[in-house]
Amino acid sequence: QVQLVESGGGSVQAGGSLKLSCTASGFTFNSGCMAWFRQAPSKEREAVGGIYPSGSRTYADSVQGRFTISRDGAKSILYLQMDSLKPEDTGTYYCAAQRPSELGCSSLLRPQNMDYWGKGTLVTISS
């Protein structure tokens, strides 16, 4: 059974940093197609970025250069380092993964492509 558990959310001032973690179980972590998404109140869920099994990464334009996704294969943890935070980064952040496929990963920036989700962790950025 696939499980994704996020942690590390909290409240910081604009310009600050936070590091989120997603502890994964139930699948071969290093072969996983994984991503971070976020959802602000009254808005649709949107992509933050993702990481492919090769280690290559993709980011949404809104976070490019400020956020960094990494993973620790030995611990099965996916990270999201968030720097230069802005009030518009406020929202619930979700970790997600795709079901393994011989065809490889589908786009990691589309929530419709993700099969497994964590319950989220809240990030609040004050101005």
DSSP code per residue over 29-49:
GGG--EEEEEE-TTS--EEEE
The whole-number pLDDT of residue 31 equals: 85
Distance CA 69, CA 21 (A): 10
The whole-number pLDDT of residue 100 equals: 86
45-70 residue pLDDT tens? 999 999 999 999 999 999 999 999 99
The whole-number pLDDT of residue 17 equals: 98
Asked whether 48 and 67 are in contact (CB, 8 A), the reply is yes
Check the CA dihedral 106-43-62-80 and report its sign.
negative
Q: Which residues in the chain come in under a pLDDT of 70? A: none
Distance CA 58, CA 45 (A): 17
